[in-house]
Structure 1
Amino acid sequence: MLRSMTGFGKGEASFGEGQHLVVEVSSVNRKQLEVRTAFPPELVSQEIPARKMVQEYISRGAVQLRVSVNSTGAAGQGAVNRELLRSLIRECQEMRREFGLQDEVAVETLMSVPGVLGATPFSPENQPAAVEALETALRGALEKFQEMRTVEGEALRRDFAARLAGLETLLGEIEPQVSGLAASIRERLLEKLAAEKIPTGADDDRLLKEVLFYADKSDVTEEITRLRSHFAQFRRFLDETKPVGRSLDFLMQELFREITTLGNKAGIPTVSPLVVAFKSELEKLREQIQNVE
């Protein structure tokens, strides 16, 4: 199934006495996998295991992983990180002395600093419970993250199928106009030679080979066959269960190459607008594929 590279998921878990852990996972487009993390100091040691879990779910994209811990209930209301508050007060006093400032900083103001109020430091006793809560919350966040990406991926799959059908229609309009093009060019060349009174006998192998060579350069049968083959491969990718974003991106390059060659070889005024329309739809399709994992 297709999955979008953009998504968001949130997981939560409680542990210890009134401790609540929240994990948020979000991502945007990126060719490779890049994971950025924001962990509370007490859980920094769990960053590597968390990254490994993220890699179980995500193969590419710029991923932001945020972990926060708050105290809830009575424990959260009365919890003050006194060490952090003392440190902030000392720093404020030192800054006032260094710069000759007269204004005082109210303690109440410092208590609004993140981490001072409602942030009881972990104790060694609740560390294992915190690690277990992190794993639970992260797994939950990743599951919701996947659900969102899958829903968006299904919408992309429907859009891709519709655009692919449009490309097949355009190719169906091009094909009859270029059918027999090589033979037509060959006949015109022979007529031109005859009009110029240049002998083209059946025994003149050199001249006939040159005529055939020039005519064959306008034969686009091979390009049409490859385009239809790429269409079939595209549909197979849409039904894959593994990430196919890179494969689809490569397939777009091949489609562009074939339709460009076809347009150059055909050189028919009525075909040129169809080739332009084909390329325009391909470009829209390629932009959408940049959103696929």
Structure 2
Amino acid sequence: MIQSMTGYGKTVLQLSQKKITIELKSLNSKNLDLNVRIPGYYREKELGIRKALAKELMRGKVDFSIYVEDNGGEVSSKVNEKVVKEYMNQLKNISEADELDLLKMAIRLPDSLKTEREELNEEEWNEIEKGISGAVKNIQKYRNDEGEALFADFVMRIKNIEALLEKVIEMDPERVNQVKDKLKKSIDDLQINVDENRFEQELIYYIEKLDITEEKVRLKNHLSYFEKELHSNHSNGKKLGFITQELGREINTIGSKSNYAPMQKLVVQMKDELEKIKEQNLNVL
């Protein structure tokens, strides 16, 4: 069954001191374009995240984010007492301010606060990995649901082209007779004598050049092949794209050879259906 490249997945982890939100978004793209936004203390895990996401999502413009909210745990910034006291001692020599004012001045000076870098907690990371797996499952479900909608639309479009092709096949004998009649009328209007045998030979040669039998057969085969790939176990948007190119080639050739207005109208309708297939196929994984 086909999958869409468009998707969204999210999980929220409530740990003892943190709320962690893991988010995945994806849009269509020719290849995998992965953007990862995570806090600095998880950076050493980024390569593993990228490998896991590439294996599961394969294609698309994917944004992966981890957001961390502190629930009141220990603060990471602390007062550097030694530095603050040294500042206050120096300020006493140049100022008559009291202790409170000296403290206010000292705390604003460089290095009076020290930030302790949060280290990666492996138990916490194990929970985050589970959360990432959950977000991937959610985005896969979203992609599958979108894929079902695309599948239904593709089947409808293919059936429409098949129905139009049947009308073309039914109309073809009428078209050939119409072309013959037009040529004969043109000769009659010239009011000249022609060799009937030679005229018939030239007429047959001309009709053969306008023959669309091969195009009709190939178009029918390509339509069947496209529908078969829709039912494949693997989603392959690139392969479907190649088949649509072949569909377009046969439809265009039928249009250029038809030389018959009613048939050209049917060809225009087939082209319209095919363009809608091409647009939707851009979203297929």
Shorter-chain TM-score range = 0.7 to 0.9
CA distance in structure 1 between the aligned counterparts of 2:247 and 2:274, rounded to whole angstroms: 8
> How do residues 17-32 of structure 1 correspond to structure 2 at under 5 angstroms?
17-32=16-31
> How do residues 74-113 of structure 1 correspond to structure 2 at under 5 angstroms?
76-82=71-77
Work out whether residues 193 and 199 of structure 1, in 8 Å CA contact, stay in contact via their aligned partners in 2: no
Indicate the residue corresponding to 2:148 in structure 1: 154
Alignment partner of 1:219 is 2:211 = yes
Residue 121 of structure 1 deviates from its aligned partner by 5.3
CA distance in structure 2 between the aligned counterparts of 1:266 and 1:230, rounded to whole angstroms: 20
List alignment gaps of at least 5 residues for structure 1: 87-118
Work out whether residues 46 and 131 of structure 1, in 8 Å CA contact, stay in contact via their aligned partners in 2: no
> How do residues 119-138 of structure 1 correspond to structure 2 at under 5 angstroms?
122-123=118-119, 126=121, 128-138=122-132
Stretch of structure 1 that moved more, 172-181 or 24-33: 172-181
Indicate the residue corresponding to 1:241 in structure 2: 233
Indicate the residue corresponding to 2:11 in structure 1: 11
Indicate the residue corresponding to 1:172 in structure 2: 166
Stretch of structure 1 that moved more, 33-42 or 182-191: 182-191
TM-score of the superposition, structure 1-length normalised?
A: 0.75
- Aligned residue type for 1:263: G
How many matched pairs?
249
Residue 120 of structure 1 deviates from its aligned partner by 9.0
Summarize the Cα distance change of 1:121–1:47 in structure 2 as closer, same or farther, 3 Å threshold.
same
- Aligned residue type for 1:289: N
Summarize the Cα distance change of 1:290–1:120 in structure 2 as closer, same or farther, 3 Å threshold.
farther
Work out whether residues 14 and 133 of structure 1, in 8 Å CA contact, stay in contact via their aligned partners in 2: no
Q: Secondary structure at the match of 2:72?
A: helix
Identity of paired residues, percent?
31
CA distance in structure 2 between the aligned counterparts of 1:261 and 1:66, rounded to whole angstroms: 49
Work out whether residues 41 and 119 of structure 2, in 8 Å CA contact, stay in contact via their aligned partners in 1: no
Work out whether residues 186 and 212 of structure 1, in 8 Å CA contact, stay in contact via their aligned partners in 2: no
CA distance in structure 1 between the aligned counterparts of 2:246 and 2:64, rounded to whole angstroms: 36
Q: Secondary structure at the match of 1:69?
A: strand
Q: Deviations over 1:132-180 (max 9, x none)?
A: 2232111110011000110111111111111111111111111111137
TM-score of the superposition, structure 2-length normalised?
A: 0.77
- Aligned residue type for 2:65: R
Work out whether residues 76 and 118 of structure 2, in 8 Å CA contact, stay in contact via their aligned partners in 1: no
Residue 39 of structure 1 deviates from its aligned partner by 1.1
Q: Deviations over 1:220-275 (max 9, x none)?
A: 11111111111111111111122211111122111111111101101101112111
Stretch of structure 1 that moved more, 53-62 or 210-219: 210-219
Q: Secondary structure at the match of 2:51?
A: helix
Indicate the residue corresponding to 1:230 in structure 2: 222
CA distance in structure 1 between the aligned counterparts of 2:234 and 2:170, rounded to whole angstroms: 37
